[in-house]
Amino acid sequence: MHSEPLFHFRICSHVSESTKKQFFMKVPQDSARKDRKMHPTTILLCKSQSSQAALVPQEHKTFLEEAYNAAICFKMLRDLNGSDPLRRKSIIKKITHMAHEAPSLVLGTIHDYFVDNPEISTRHKLRLLHVLESVIEASDFMEETWETTFMQLALENLTKSTELEEAYQDAASNVLLAVCKHSWRVVAQHLESEVLTGIFPHRSLLYVMGILTSNEELFKEGEKACWEEQLARIAIKSVQFLNTDAWSKELLGALTKPDQIHQEQPPEKAFLFLYYGLILQAEDNSTTVRTHLRTLLETSHQWPKQREGIALTVGLAAARHLDHVWAVLEQFGRSTPVKWSLHSFSPKNSEDLRWKWASSTILLAYGQMAAKAKAHILPWVDNILSRMIFYFHCSSWDETLKQSFLAGVLMLVGAISRSEGAQSYEFSQTSELLECLMLLMEKEPQDTLCTSTRQQTIHIISRLCKLRPPLDLEKKSRLLTISLRSVLSLPLLEVLEKHTCLYLEPPNIQTLYNKTLEALGQMLQSFITQNPTPDELHFLLSHMYRWLASEKVHERQRAVHSCMSLLKFLSHNLYLDPKEDFKRIGQLMGMLGILCQDPDKATQCSSLEGMGHLYQLLMRQRGQKRGRTRAQHRAWYG
């Protein structure tokens, strides 16, 4: 007669030493015959080797409670093999709750179930790993023995090949990441030793390192920097592998492997671009660096995350090899495929698509060069800007190139603003860049708002107006006119939302518009802080008068809100020069006074608030003027 397999369930390690004795109990059975065939029917509690002395009542009670809880936990783990997803979700929630009360008991039960029953299905093991991850993450404290035990369990499973493929490996990897919450240094040390064996790292190891690098929640305050330092040391030790053909080929193969979802990049691949860049940064041989970068740039540029990854690797290499990276990008930009991709064409095959957005990669790479070179970037700014402007004018223009241009320029102006001494530089290309930005904003469709293009463009203008040489009045006037028209003349939000109804993932129009209007306000603030005079205030506000007098309610509402925000900024911050008088404020006061009677309530409120802030400014200027007059009087007459 065929006998059902016994599942050995040990509670020796989970019950206190004083209460360990021999007990046998039957697990509650389901009535269905099917369940009896599919699942084990017996829990075998390990026999203690201690004497058979009778338990004192309290110890007996404690033992029974712990054994009962362990049996309940065991049954729930067994029931994870069921097909009902809602039931599984409920079980995971109950086990996690139980772990709060008795963490050691639950962890021990999961471990014993997993280890003692190798015949359970791969899918069942996958679910056990998910539960284990949840329990470890929910634990506030974890004993060192459990950290070691589950780290080893995860490491044994994260490289296993099963019918579930990467899903199973990722589940084991996530258990290791959960352990990192309690002891990331131990895990990181093991990862380092695995990566530096000379054999190209398994995908799961790179997955864990990728999550460690991108998820700050795994670290306590200040610890993320320690991991980044360790990663830099790993990269230095990995330089030797660049000249190993097998390792380099596997690296390139992993970097160019098509992603299952092209809009998203798996953590292991995102990390690999970072890791590769750090290795090239640490490499002393410039010829090796150039060779590897050329090989990388000759791969496909079809997918956005691939382009971003290549640019990141190039930028990291530039942190130490700026001259050589510049030369490689110049050479790549003159290559036949890139020249061909710059002209308008209709892709006919996969080879065409491979090169179509190569200039997008180059734009992002220039931005990453600036971001990673940091203090060394200032002498290179004009050269980089000249290349970006070239690709702006010469590329086959589409949304991809537009976003790459803006992303690259944002990285560049961010690097400039973080560089000491930027104010002492005269940048010759900023005027031409501003022309590109104005052209870009003018090309934006005036009846839709589906991207952050306006917001990003205005943000860049705000940064550029702080650089030398200062903008002349004619160019500043054009910037204001184009920016105000691009934002204030947009249709009502309800109309804008209708244009997104066909999008698979429509943007939040309200949030997008609010951020765009906020960027416009910051641009006005940047202008006034660069020249804090009443004349400059009059100059800025004079460009708003046509919008304050608009026949369209929503345009007046937006204009008066922007006007009020600028006056509020000035009334709260002492930027205006107290030595200068307000000479041309009457028109503004008149406009705001009329709008205080506007039929639109929002316009009324903003106008009243704007009048209040303007009054505070005038009183402050008058008070300061009186103070100066008294000081002069005392100086003359004693």
At 269-282, the pLDDT tens digits run 999 999 999 999 99
Q: What pLDDT sits at residue 26?
A: 38
pLDDT at 66: 85
pLDDT at 7 over 60: no
| pLDDT average, residue stretch 588-600 | 95
Is residue 26 within a helix (H) or strand (E), and if so which, with residue range?
strand 24-26
**581 within domain boundaries:** no
Pairing of strands 42-44, 24-26: antiparallel
- CA 88, CA 92: separation in Å to the nearest integer? 6
Peptide bond into 469 cis (omega under 30): yes
Task: Mean pLDDT check: name the lowest of 102-116, 462-476, 572-586.
Answer: 572-586
**Which strand ranges, in their side-by-side order, compose the sheet holding 42-44?**
7-8, 42-44, 24-26
User: Containing domain of residue 85, as a range?
Assistant: 7-49+58-195
Band (388; pLDDT cuts 50, 70, 90): very high
Within a domain: 398:
no
**Band of pLDDT at residue 31, cut at 50, 70 and 90:** very low
pLDDT score at 56: 56
Per-residue pLDDT for 230 more than 90? yes
Average pLDDT of every residue of the chain: 88
The residue among 32 and 637 whose pLDDT is bigger is 637
Q: Does 17 score more than 50 pLDDT?
A: no
Report how far apart, in Å, the C-alpha atoms of 625 and of each of 379, 578, 604 are.
Answer: 45, 7, 31
Torsion-angle region of residue 598: left (phi > 0), alpha (psi -120 to 50) or beta? beta
pLDDT (0 to 100) of residue 624: 65
Determine, yes or no, domain membership for 360.
no
Quickly state the pLDDT bin for 125 (edges 50, 70, 90).
very high
**Is residue 508 over pLDDT 60?**
yes
Residue 246 lies in a domain: no
Q: How confident is the model at residue 62 (pLDDT cuts 50, 70, 90)?
A: confident
Q: What is the pLDDT of residues 333-355, one digit of tens each?
A: 999 989 888 875 566 666 678 89
Cα(595)–Cα(547) distance, integer angstroms: 12
Say which CATH number the domain at 122 has: 1.25.10
Q: Is the pLDDT of residue 437 over 90?
A: yes
- 148 located within any domain: yes
What 263-267 contacts at long range (C-beta under 8 Å, 24+ apart), as own/partner pairs, is 263/304, 263/305, 264/305, 265/305, 265/306, 265/308, 265/309, 266/207, 266/210, 267/206, 267/207, 267/210, 267/211, 267/214
**Three-state secondary structure call for residue 242:** helix
pLDDT at 581: 76
pLDDT at residue 605 greater than cutoff 60 = yes
Residue 483 near residue 523, CB atoms below 8 Å: yes
Among 54-68, 362-376, 575-589, 598-612, name the one with the lowest average pLDDT. Answer: 54-68
**β-strands 7-8, 24-26: how paired?**
unpaired
pLDDT of amino acid 349? 64
Identify the residue with better confidence: 506 or 624: 506
- Is residue 240 situated within a structural domain? no
Question: How many Å apart are CA 178 and CA 154, to the nearest integer?
Answer: 10
When pLDDT is averaged across residues 370-379 and rounded to a whole number, the result is 91
Confidence band, pLDDT 50/70/90 cuts, at residue 629: low
In three-state form (DSSP H/G/I as H, E/B as E, the rest C), the secondary structure along 165-194 is CHHHHHHHHHHHHHHHHHHHHHHHHHHHHH
Residue 36 binned pLDDT confidence (cut-offs 50, 70, 90)? very low
Domain assignment present for residue 299? The answer is no
- With a CB cutoff of 8 Å and minimum separation 6, the contacts of 634 are none
| 546 assigned to some structural domain | no
Domain count of the chain? 1
Mean pLDDT of 157-170: 95
How would you label 50-78 residue by residue, b for 16+ Cβ within 10 Å and e otherwise? eeeeeeeeeeeebbeebbebbbbbbbbbb
pLDDT tens, position by position, 247-301: 999 999 999 998 866 567 899 999 999 999 999 999 999 999 999 999 999 999 9
User: What average pLDDT does the segment 328-333 reach?
Assistant: 97
The answer to whether 500 and 450 are in contact (CB under 8 A) is yes
160 vs 16, more confident: 160
Predicted model pTM: 0.87
Structure-block tokens of residue 510: 């309200």
Give the DSSP letter of residue 8.
E
At 626 the pLDDT is 58
Instruction: Please tell me the predicted confidence (pLDDT) of residue 16.
Output: 46
Nearest alpha carbon to residue 137 among 107, 101, 175, 165: 175
**Amino acid (one-letter) located at 434:** L
pLDDT: which is higher, 585 or 385: 385
The predicted pLDDT at position 370 comes to 97
